[in-house]
Chains A and B, each alone.
Chain A
């Protein structure tokens, strides 16, 4: 059993590509080897900023001989078809076997593929795999026409201690970069740049380690963690947990050497989010915390080298960079606070929300009205809601958010506080962009929920009205995320307001702007239709994972006036109802379908509707007919208070009172009676039944229970 070692040495691979590249390499190598019939015990990829490596152990010395089967045309197919097949497989008619099938006798070509030495097949398959490696982004260099993630410098390819002859060609043209395999690599760019001769995988890993290269990303992460925790312990601090940053930093160094730097106390007045963003996003520094969880005036970072002054100049340099960045931030923070947040909000008229949807000032005005309306429904302080909504986008014109766009909202919160708007408004502004994803928490207060809701309603409705909705893969304005945010907020019991009402308000607020702009826009009705079906899809996706049947969602959501918060309890009630009375419920569903069908067919025939025809008891000759009429009347009386108070379990149970009268009706009553008035009266009765049931749920969309 033998071992394969490959290493591509190249210029610095972006950190964000590394983890996936290692996984891809393992997977693709494994698949390719298996396809050749080559078994192996382990296939491990390694990645560092300058290398992508692979070790496969336990490979056999040769590929197995295999017989490949290929099915051809029928034996009685036209001659040219048979000849074509024979030519394609390189056999004569005599070489082919016959296969009997129910569809006839077919020609079958069996081709022996002889065993090949493993060392001979590895070269070609890995040349192909490496040159076409699935990097998310590639570039050309020199005279090359074929790209790779960054320019390639050498290829180490060893099988059983010997070099596998391989050539990587990055283009067809003369002078295109061409890399020929060998048995050498080199060490750390600065600490040990000499060539290293390699014989096998363990030798490779050891020698690289001696040459200051830790090619195993996991090991680099551990080096960073260990060194960092050692340094911070001395100061009684802890590292703010940040796995994403650790992953990235490990992708920026081949030999991590961790240092601590100091932050001048004058910058510690900046909000922690500003300090952390500056350190993390711009400098890839680790934020440190003291025992109380407050940000400490130090930062940790990993250099890629050991210097002769033990990092003295490196630390000094990094402190200088951070200082420059923080002094810029402090400048903006001070400047921004010279003006009240309300005044910043005035400058929103200079910023376009979207080319077709006006300025942010216009959005601000809409949000203010919308927040007031929503607060009204919720019984929440309308002035407070309007104020928070009015101010929520103001930070977009501040210097700080211009420099740090990722701090939008957060800065608004700070500036609201310093402008004296109170903690509740500040928190609502700070949390308006939550939830940012399915795992993210909702805003923590009702005011926060209102602001978050109206912002998303406005965005979604506006884009839909001008015909911009997410497509299969494209959602540049994150409308799906906005919709999910809306759904999650509206699941909250306090929001006793239906989606069409909310979307309708949002649309009405846009109407003057859109009409004045002369843009081609959707009508309110069309916008709401599109949005409701879009939202329904989002709801179905969201709840499918909870095991809720899509037709239940469809049937109950079709009832347009159900607020989402009540929808969930209604859905639960319906599920319980079906579970406890499945047979009866199914009976009811079938009776509904039967009645609805009759009404539909007769209405089509007569070219009129029976829904509004008033019922006349005097025309009801049959007992069963009268019973159904009375049952419906009683049900009407029962249902009204139940629905008004959202007592859904009782609502569904009440429907069962119709089962028996319906059964009797369909057994004893002929709907299409000879007398016209009697027939019409019966059709009207069934039409009323249909309407009544559909007010509870869209029975038409339910599949069998």
Chain B
């Protein structure tokens, strides 16, 4: 059995969720860079290009760009393709709005660098009510 790691942070949008981590030390715009029908990242050359966001705990620096982010997140959720939680270094007001409207928890201000300690595929439990993540490394 692998041991899990507990990381404290600040719950920005409350709620709890669990899923597989999808990690990139990068920014992402939902409008224009995410296809809500397939749930995949379509931005050419983006480190997450081709990856599905469906059911994932999305660990990125922040969202950026278009004000369409909450709308695309909403459409992706209606199609069952939205991430289950956001773990961000910085709070982009549009991601925060999208999370509030769609009931998706968001956490920031982690006491450890998420890009150093969370890898794509790790199991992550997000508790934005109490403000922590529990990371269980995937079995290599």
Tell me if chain B binds chain A: no
